[in-house]
Structure 1
Amino acid sequence: MTRIQANLLLTLIAMIWGSAFVAQAHGMEAMGPMMFTGIRFLIGALVVLPLIVRERRAPSALPLRGGDALKIVGLGVLLTLGAVLQQIGIQYTTVTNAGFLTALYVPLVPLLGWALLRHLPHWSVWPGAAACLIGAFLLSGAHELDIGLGDAWVIASALPWAVHVLLVGQVADRMNSPFTVAGGQFLFCGLVSLAWALCFEPWSWSGIQAATGPLLYTGVLSVGVAFTAQVVAQRYAHAADAAIILSSETLFAAVFGYLLMGDRLNAAGLLGCALILGAMLLIQLLPMLRVLRPRAA
């Protein structure tokens, strides 16, 4: 897979995630955040299970070592923290605010990459990250930041999301087992979240049945398809580029709101869409220019 193909796959992932925010909010009407997170990630683990079996049976498959299991567990911890903190926040804030505040991980990825791994990103990452943040803010329709309880929870999720985006591609590439990495972290997140919910959250079978639609949508598409595709794509995409592209879930959330729910954007919202789209094109087209220049010479 080329870097351009990986970026296009990340764009598709952002489209799926953008459509999932509404489903997550609806699912919370019938159950607590830990129960919803646990069930949807276990559904995602079941979706990717056939791919794991095929991957482990392949002649080129390398045996898993103890260190590999620890790496998968580490990714599972980050995934659990990010998903749960975001899901708790969605209870107390709007879907639009959650979409914008989640995008705060975008500038954190290149900063952490430089601080922890000494990876100096291409210059285009910095204006791209700034454009994504400003665009997401304009798209949210907010005129000022009034940070409430739910917003604080979503902001807290930005750090584990950033570290996860930074590391997931590297771990999958070194192990050469992207589906095993994906399914392992889903299983960890699902079991930990479900165990917590069974001990500390009120729940009922009727609530689970009422949330069947959101659970299946987010479990199959958002987790099973999109999160797995993220692991695959980030083996070939730079982490900072991936963060910018994935942040376009805010843009796609607005598009689905327009098509399915009759939402309409004002001038500021349209400008926000343009900024996010411009940032995506910037970091996707520049690598193509670097390839084309030597050929032209």
Structure 2
Amino acid sequence: MTRATATALLIVATIIWGSAFIAQKSAMGAMEPFTFLAARYLLGGLLILPLAIWESRRVNKPISKKGWTYIGVLVFAFFFGSWLQQIGLLTASVTNTGFLTGFYVFFVPVFMVLFAKAKLHNLIWVAAALAFSGLFLLSGGKIENFVEGDYYVLGSSFFWALYVFFLGTTAKETQRPITVSACIFLIGGSICAAGAFGTESVTVSALQVGWVEILYTGVLSTAIGFTLHTISQQHVPTANAALILSMESLFAAIGAALILGERLTLNGYLGIVLIFSAIVLAEAGPVFFEKARRRKSMVG
């Protein structure tokens, strides 16, 4: 897969996730967080399970101990990222949620420097700052008074950054991106199911009321969106992938405009420009400067 194709798939994933944000918020009016997460992830995992079995037979070699360790870390990050964000949606405003989730744009390159000893191009940090500023403006250009849910959402951004950090490495190590996704969904969904039956009131009527939200997020956001993310991130540098994924807030705003009738302010449009500028800078900037450096050295 070429990097351009992988980038396009990442953008498709962010479009799906951005539109699914409305369904996630709506589902909280019908059921509690663990119940919703269990339903969507188990549904998504079961849908891609046949593909995961086919993929494993095609690779025809067992997953290494290191691979299973990476999958375990991903399940851990995925569970806490999902759970904290969903709890936060109970009380946090849409404005604050969109902005605070975007903190992973900064967390991912920090993880790369601290844990992978990566030497990132200076333009990556500039692009991260631009994307973060864009998220702030897209969310309204202000932070409303913090409530308890905001702290949960902020915590979720740390775990989502951890998830993005390990995802590409895990898919390459196992050579099974779909199997990795299936393991994450089914194990994570099972943990959520245990939490639901242990701490929440799970009823058939609640599932019936929220079946549209479950179906939408289970099929599109989980089975398709997260799997596309897993497949494509093998071919895009991790820091760049985090910047591309920050477009989720952009597509959430577009979804809110189309479905809920909300309209972007001038700050919102400026935020869109900054996010796109950040992605272009991160993708094209290092290549441009490297070519310029080579031309200069040839002339010298």
| Distance across 1 between alignment mates of 2:2 and 2:287 | 11
Correspondence for 2:115 = 116
Partner of 1:25: 25
User: How far did residue 87 of structure 1 move?
Assistant: 0.4
Q: Distance in 1 between matches of 2:7 and 2:120?
A: 16
**Alpha-carbon deviation of 1:97?**
2.1
Residue by residue, what CA displacement relative to the aligned partner does 1:218-268 show, whole Å, maximum 9, x if unpaired? Answer: 111111111111111111111110111001100111112222222111111
- Stretches of structure 2 that go unaligned for 5 or more consecutive residues are none
- Between the aligned partners of 1:219 and 1:177, the Cα distance in structure 2 is 21
Q: Report whether the alignment pairs 1:158 with 2:157.
A: yes
1:185 Cα deviation after fit: 0.9
State the match for 2:87 in structure 1: 88
Equivalent residue letter for 2:213:
P
Moved more, 21-30 or 136-145: 136-145
Report the CA distance between 1:285 and its aligned residue.
Answer: 2.7
Distance 1:290 1:5 in 2: 23
Instruction: Quote the Cα distance in structure 1 between the aligned partners of 2:205 and 2:98.
Output: 29
Q: What is the alpha-carbon distance in structure 1 between the residues aligned to residue 294 and residue 257 of structure 2?
A: 42
Aligned residue number for residue 97 of structure 1: 96
| TM-score between both structures, scaled by the size of structure 2 | 0.93
1:172 aligns with 2:152: no
User: Cα gap change, 1:260/1:296 in structure 2, threshold over 3 Å: closer, same or farther?
Assistant: farther
Give the counterpart letter for 1:251 in structure 2: L
- Tell me if structure 1 keeps the 8 A contact 2:67–2:173: no
What's the CA shift string for 1:162-203, capped at 9, x where partnerless? 111001110110111111111101111100011111110122
Please list, as runs of the form range in 1=range in 2, the aligned pairs for 1:259-270 lying within 5 A after superposition: 259-270=258-269
8 A contact 1:21–1:95 mirrored in 2: no
* Shift in alpha-carbon separation, 1:12–1:290, aligned structure 2, 3 A: farther
Distance change in 2, residues 1:6/1:292 (3 Å): farther
Between the aligned partners of 2:123 and 2:197, the Cα distance in structure 1 is 46
Q: Deviations over 1:29-57 (max 9, x none)?
A: 11111111111111110121121011012
The one-letter amino acid paired with 2:137 is L
Pairing of 1:66-81 with structure 2 (within 5 A): 66-81=65-80
Letter in 1 for 2:34: M
> 8 Å contact 1:85–1:154 — kept in the other structure?
yes
Aligned partners of 2:95 and 2:143 also within 8 Å:
no
- Residues 1:106 and 2:105 aligned together: yes
Q: Tell me, in whole angstroms, the C-alpha distance in 1 between the residues paired with 2:172 and 2:295.
A: 32
Superposition pairs of residues 212-251 of structure 1, within 5 angstroms: 212-251=211-250
Corresponding residue of 1:191: 190
The equivalent residue for 1:34 is 34
- In the superposition, the TM-score normalised over structure 1's length comes to 0.94
Counterpart in the other structure of 2:142: 143
Per-residue deviation, 1:216:
0.8
Q: Distance in 1 between matches of 2:174 and 2:142?
A: 46
Q: Is the 8 A contact 2:105 2:161 kept in 1?
A: yes
Cα RMSD (Å): 2.0
Matched to 1:30, the amino acid is A
Residues 40-51 of structure 1: pairs in structure 2 closer than 5 A: 40-51=40-51
Partner Cα separation in structure 2 for residue 15 and residue 122 of structure 1 = 27
1:134 and 1:284 mapped to 2: Cα distance?
A: 18
In structure 1, the partner of 2:16 is 16
Per-residue deviation, 1:10: 1.0
The 4+ residue runs of structure 1 with deviation greater than 6 A are: 290-297
Q: Secondary structure at the match of 1:234?
A: helix
Distance 1:105 1:199 in 2: 31
Residue 108 of structure 2 contacts residue 162 of structure 2 at CA under 8 Å; is this kept in 1? yes
Give distance in 2, aligned partners of 1:48 and 1:124: 37
Contact 2:70 2:166 survives alignment (8 Å): no
SS in 2 for 1:235: helix
Aligned counterparts of 1:144 and 1:102: Cα–Cα separation in 2: 13
8 Å CA contact 1:22–1:95 kept in 2: the answer is: no
Partner of 1:64: 63
The answer to whether the 8 Å contact 2:130/2:275 transfers is yes
Q: Distance in 1 between matches of 2:32 and 2:287?
A: 45
Q: Give how far 1:281 is off.
A: 2.0
State the partner residue of 1:258: 257
Kept after mapping to 2: 8 A contact 1:73/1:184: no
Q: For structure 1, which segment, 282-291 or 10-19, has the greater mean C-alpha deviation from structure 2 after superposition? A: 282-291
